[in-house]
Amino acid sequence: MLLSTVAEIKRSTGPVEIERKYQQRLIRIAANTIGRDLGSISAELEDRFSRLPLPPGFSVRLGGQSERQRDAFGSLYFTSALAIILVYMVLASQFRSLKNPLTIMFSVPMGLIGVFWALFLTDTTLSTTSFMGIIMMVGIVVSNGVLLVEYINELRRQGLPLLEAVPRGGRVRLRPS
C-alpha cells in the first residue's frame, strides 16, 4: 500500500516543540524590562492585550516575573490585613480596653501618608521591598503609639486630667532622641 493513497505530503513549517500547560497549548513570548518598572509595563501590556481581538478559545496572560509580583502583592496584602487584626487583638488584651488600641491603630494611616509622600517625592515605585518597608514602618508606629498611650495612662493614674496628660505625654514621648 502506498502512502499517497492515505495521505497527501506537503512541506511546511511548524513549531519545533509544542508546549502545554494544564492540557492547553502554550506559546511563550519573553521580554526584558529596561528603563521602566515591571508594574507599569505589566499594566500597559494588560491594557493593550485587553483591546486585542482574539479568536475564540485564545487568551493572553502575563506570566514570569509579573505573575510572581502579582502573587507576592496578594500575599503581602493578606499578611498586612492579618497583622493589623492580630496586633489589635494583642493590644486589646494588653490594655484590657478597646479604646486605647483604636487610638494607637489610628496613628498608622498618618504614617502611611508620610510613606506615600516619600515614595512619590523620590519617584520610587511600590515594590515588594518598599511594601516590606511599609510593614516595618507600621510596626514602629504601633510600638511608639503603645509607649505614648502607656505613658499618658501612667500620668492619668498619677492624678493628671486627660487634657493635661496628653500634651505632657506628647512633649515627653514625641521629642527626638
Question: What digits encode the pLDDT tens for the residues 2-41?
Answer: 888 888 888 888 878 888 888 888 888 888 888 888 888 8
Query: What does the pLDDT read at residue 95?
Result: 87
**Mean of the per-residue pLDDT values for the chain?**
88
Neighbouring residues of 76: CB distance < 8 A, sequence distance ≥ 6:
128, 131, 132, 135
b/e string for 103-133 if b means 16 or more Cβ within 10 A? Answer: ebbeebeebeeebeeebeeeeeeebeeebee
CA distance 121 to 19: 45
For residue 173, give the C-alpha cell. 514621648
Q: Beta partners for 20?
A: 25
Long-range contacts of 91-94 (CB under 8 A, 24+ apart): 91/142, 91/146, 94/146
Concatenated DSSP letters of 58-86: ------THHHHHHHHHHHHHHHHHHHHHH
pLDDT 10s digits, 58-82: 888 888 888 888 888 888 889 888 9
Q: Is the pLDDT of residue 141 over 80?
A: yes
List the CATH code of the domain at 70-173. 1.20.1640.10
Q: What is residue 26's predicted lDDT score, i.e. its pLDDT? A: 85
Q: Mean pLDDT, to the nearest integer, of 110-138?
A: 88
For residue 177, pLDDT beyond 80:
no
176 or 162: which leads in pLDDT? 162
Local structure of 144: helix, strand or coil: helix
Percentage of the chain lying above the pLDDT 90 cut: 27
